[in-house]
Each structure stands twice: as C-alpha cells, then as structure tokens.
Amino acid sequence: LNNIAVLTSGGDAPGMNAAVRAVVRTGIYHQLNVYGIMYGYRGMLKNEIFPMESKSVANIIQRGGTILKTARCREFYEYEGRKMAYENLKKHNIDGLVVIGGDGSFNGAQKFSQEFDIPCIGLPGTIDKDIAGTDSTIGFDTAVNTAVEAIDKIRDTADAHDRLFVIEVMGRDAGYIALHSGISTGAEHILMPERKTEVNDIIEELQANERRRKLVNLIVVAEGDETGGAQEVGRIIKERCPQLDTRVSILGHIQRGGAPTCTDRILASRLGYAAVDALLEGIHNVMIGVVNDRIHYTPLDKAVKAKQEIDPEWFKIVKILAS
Ligand code: F6P
C-alpha cells in the first residue's frame, strides 16, 4: 500500500471533516501518500483528485459540512462510469480508497471493488443512523443535539401561548432522530416509521389533556412516518381539534449543519484511523463501525440500510414521562 484516497459521498453529515482529517493524518503517519477526491464519485470520474498533506486538514475537526464537498453521482451506477473512475485512480497509482457516506455510497464502493483491483473501506457518515453494522453513524449525535436545541426553543414559545406544536425532524426512512430528540425534549408523542401510530389515539389524548388544562403539547414526527409528515398530522389535528392552537414546524436542513459534537468527533477520529489501519492490515471491502464500543467490520455488501427494532418500552417511557 502506497497511495490512498479519501472521498465523502451522499448527504453531508457533521463530523465528516473530522473523519477526513483522521484518514489523512493516519495515512501520512504511516508514510502513505494521501489524495483527496472532490465531490465524491463525481470527482473520481472527472479526475478531481489532489494530493493532501497534514496542513490540508488543519482547523477542520470542528467544522460541519465537508471540505471535500459531496455529490450524488448517476454515472457511477453504470459500469462505464466506474471504469472511467478507475482509470483516473490508476493515473495517481491509488491502491486504497476510503469512502465516507451512507448505504448508497457503500453500494457503489462494493461494485467498484468487485470489478477493479482497488480495495475499499466504507465509513458510515449520515445523520440518519440507518446503517447496519454500527451502533451510530458520524453526524447522528450532532443532528439530534441540533434538533433538541431547536425543540427546546419551540417549547418556550409553545408554553408562552399554550400551544400545541407538531415538529418534523429528518431521518429519511428511519425514526432515530425523532425518537432521541423526542425523548430528550419531553415530547408527548413521537411518530416514526418503525412503529404505526393511530392518529385517533393522539386526538383522544389531546382532548383528555385539554380537559385537565394541559395545553402545551409537543408532537415530534419523523419525516418518514407513514401518516405523511408534520403538515399532515397538523392538518388532521386542526380539523379534529379546532379549539387547540396548533402550529407546525419543520426543522429541515439545520439538522445537517453545525459543529460536530464531541461524540461525533470521537467516532469520526476513531473510524478514520481504523480505516487506514484496516487497509494496511489487508482488510478490504468492509464498512467499519463501532459496536458495543469496539471496532466492527461489516462486508460492504452487508452494510445496507437497516431498520432496527425499536424496543417498545421506549414508547411506554414516553407516555409515562409526558403524562
Ligand atoms: O440522508 C440525510 C438526509 O438529511 C435525510 O434525513 C433527508 O431525508 C435527506 O437527506 C434530504 O436530502 P436533500 O438534502 O437532498 O434534500
């Protein structure tokens, strides 16, 4: 192993920079040449590949976004695109690739590593925490903390006006951001794709709450919940409970930005270091995660989107604590 490259792909996530930094500095420590690839697979196709030095990653551990930029790349789905990307890597004699991204990015890396002789390592970077083979993903903790901060602020104004707020958080098809942010802000209800919620039950509870003059209610909805998102939940509540003062708030992309939390910086640093270590050890074509506080390898083809079981006890806790 002499020359490795690193890229970020798919949706950005806070902590990606910390991971890039760890890959670059660990690579240099082991006397490897480290290359950065701009805009994910698109940059591989367009030969936007440049040598990095220790200084290239100075002052980025605390920054959100990704200095390597990111993109979704259609051409990489096709063999011809992947071949062109391979030829560009060969121009730089790259013999190891670290891909920081989500399951879609690993899918690309898996195909690529099968077709060409470039070992690939995947690192899970997504705010959604929807990947098998790791307890968390780079960016999840930061996104949850951002959501918590925003929901706390919403609670202030909800309390001042005796209002009900329906708040939508991100997560694509997964409800972890909703579950974690909802529990830690004391939400009355959490709607998420992993568990069906009957809106009728919510309406009944809201009416019971109203009878006992409990007027401040927070409902956190994961964007992927099958009810149809916060707008739809808010619409139903307004229709069925017109006496309640209901507002809808969609938190949106603020959840993707900002300085990574300590937890995400540590995860990213650990995984970036482990990625180079794995390449040096000859461990190839795996995603590296952390399971029970230990480094865990998952073959790239098994590093897929995962809907984990949510312990039903959590919903009991939500109900009891918000009563
Ligand atoms: O995967 C991260 C994520 O932020 C999801 O939570 C969300 O559904 C999606 O990306 C939004 O994608 P875009 O930034 O392309 O609108």
Please give the ipTM for the structure prediction: 0.98
Cα 37 from Cα 183, distance rounded (Å): 39
CA end-to-end distance (rounded Å), the chain: 59
- Asked whether 125 lines ligand 1 (CB < 6 A), one says no
Nearest 10 degrees: Cα torsion 4, 267, 142, 61: -50
The Cα 147–Cα 182 span in angstroms is 9
For ligand 1, atom 13: residue with the closest CA = 11
Give pTM, 2 decimals: 0.97
Residue that is written with structure tokens 């690192």 in the block:
123
For residue 261, give the DSSP letter: P
CB contact burial 88-110 (16+ within 10 A = b; e otherwise): bbeebebbbbbbbbbbbbbbbbb
**Is 172 known to sit in a ligand binding site?**
yes
Using the mean position of ligand 1's atoms as its centre, give its distance from the Cα of residue 162 in Å.
32
Cα-to-centroid distance, 252 and ligand 1 (Å): 9
Distance 160 CA to ligand 1 centre (A): 32
**Rg, the chain, Cα only:** 22
- pLDDT of 220 reads 98
Please give the distance, rounded to the nearest whole angstrom, from the Cα atom of residue 16 to the centre of ligand 1.
Answer: 15
254 is in an annotated binding site: yes
pLDDT of residue 252: 98
pLDDT for res 87: 98
Q: Mutation test of ligand 1: which of 8, 66, 127 has the most ligand atoms closer than 8 Å to its C-beta?
A: 127
24 assigned ligand-binding residue: yes
Give the HSE-up count for residue 99: Cα atoms under 13 Å, Cβ half-sphere. 33
Residues 90, 84: Cα–Cα separation, whole Å: 10
Active site residues: 128
User: No. of H helices and E strands in the chain?
Assistant: 10, 11
Contact indicator for 14, 62 with CB cutoff of 8 Å = no
What local confidence, expressed as pLDDT, does residue 306 receive?
82
Within 212-295, residue ranges assigned H as helices are 229-240, 262-281
> Measured from the CB, is residue 126 less than 6 Å from ligand 1?
yes
Ligand 1 site, residue 265, Cβ cutoff 6 A: no
- Specify the pLDDT at position 56: 98
Q: How many CB atoms lie within 10 A of CB 127?
A: 32
Does ligand 1 have an atom closer than 6 angstroms to the CB of 72? Answer: no
pLDDT at residue number 322: 85
Q: Is the CB of 129 under 6 A from ligand 1?
A: no
List, for the chain, all residue ranges whose pLDDT scores fall below the cut of 70. Answer: none
Residue 309: the pLDDT is: 75
Task: Give nearest CA residue, ligand 1 atom 6.
Answer: 171
**Is 143:47 a contact under the CB 8 Å cutoff?**
no
